[in-house]
Structure 1
């Protein structure tokens, strides 16, 4: 990355962080380009050099905060895959508390941004859950000998199902605890996994 690219990247991060800071006290719909620029210390033309509108900034900010969170899982994907490879099929779960609890805590902490992302349709679940697919779902489907042509459909069931439950949790104000939501997701997933085991 050359100096001009680094400057461009750092300016974008400042605007991502400005949105995160402003959303601690305000809803997304009330935040203006002017407020972003003042908080980030940039001028209006710089904003439009990076984004067409606020929805573009929101989408980038979602990716920015999620990337920082995913570093938690990326630190030891090999260990996770080895664990899946060595476990008996009776012990395998597509979704575990090891992944769910930190993820739901993260969502709760950033619920204003998640709510705005859902409302503005900038949340692409298939992209946001790519690590869950790569490190958990795909290796487990491999262990169950699920045909490759069926895997994208099965992963969509889990990914969009979990996303829908998280969306409902956010829209109702995160009234349930992180642990309650995690247990509910696992309960529903377990029912599906029982049928998967029966079929294979």
Structure 2
């Protein structure tokens, strides 16, 4: 990366940081380009060099937060994915407290941006991230559980949208219910025996 590229990305990072700080204090719909520029110490033309709209900045900030979440996960994601075919089946049941606790903790810590991205999901086109997750993680897991192929395309959207629906409601309530309670709700809604029965 040359010096001009480094400066470009450093400026974008300042605007990301300014936006996230503003989002902690006010709703997304009330944040203006002017405020972002003032807080980041850049002019409007610099903002529009990087983004067309504040929604574009939101999308980039959301991706940054998600990337940070993946880095913060206590499990080696790459190792997990490479071992899907050999891991014991009970380790592939991804709604255990071991997997859900860090996930829910991170959402609670960054609840304002997660709530905003959920509210703006149609604008941001975040479904691509879920489709990628579905293709690379969940489908291989369903194969290990011998879930019939015709059923897979229906099951994973059901589970993913179900979990996201629960999380969305939790975010609307500012994550007031405990993480332990939320894990119990998710486990009641998505019982593991459905996967176990697929093996028979």
TM-score (norm 2): 0.83
Distance 1:164 1:180, change over 3 A: same
CA distance in 1, matches of 2:42, 2:149: 49
State the match for 2:64 in structure 1.
64
**Structure 2 stretches of 5 or more lacking a match?**
none
State the match for 1:159 in structure 2.
160
State the match for 1:143 in structure 2.
144
The CA deviation string for residues 65-89 of structure 1, in whole angstroms up to 9 with x for no partner, is 11111113496135434377231x4
State the match for 1:194 in structure 2.
193
Runs of 4+ more than 6 Å apart: none
Residue range with higher mean Cα deviation, 30-39 or 68-77: 68-77
Distance 1:37 1:179, change over 3 A: same
Residue range with higher mean Cα deviation, 126-135 or 55-64: 126-135
What is the aligned-residue RMSD (CA, Å)?
2.6
State the match for 2:50 in structure 1.
50
Contact 2:134–2:156 (CA under 8 A) maintained in structure 1: no
Residue range with higher mean Cα deviation, 115-124 or 6-15: 115-124
Q: What is the aligned length?
A: 196
CA deviation after TM superposition for structure 1 residue 129, in Å: 7.8
CA deviation after TM superposition for structure 1 residue 35, in Å: 1.1
CA deviation after TM superposition for structure 1 residue 46, in Å: 0.7
**Structure 1 stretches of 5 or more lacking a match?**
none
Distance 1:114 1:91, change over 3 A: closer
Matches within 5 A, 1:1-200: 1-73=1-73, 76-81=76-81, 82=83, 85-87=86-88, 89=89, 92-121=92-121, 122=124, 124-127=126-129, 130-131=132-133, 134-135=136-137, 137-190=138-191, 193-200=192-199
TM-score (norm 1): 0.83
The CA deviation string for residues 128-181 of structure 1, in whole angstroms up to 9 with x for no partner, is 58458634x334212112344543432212211111111111112222112211
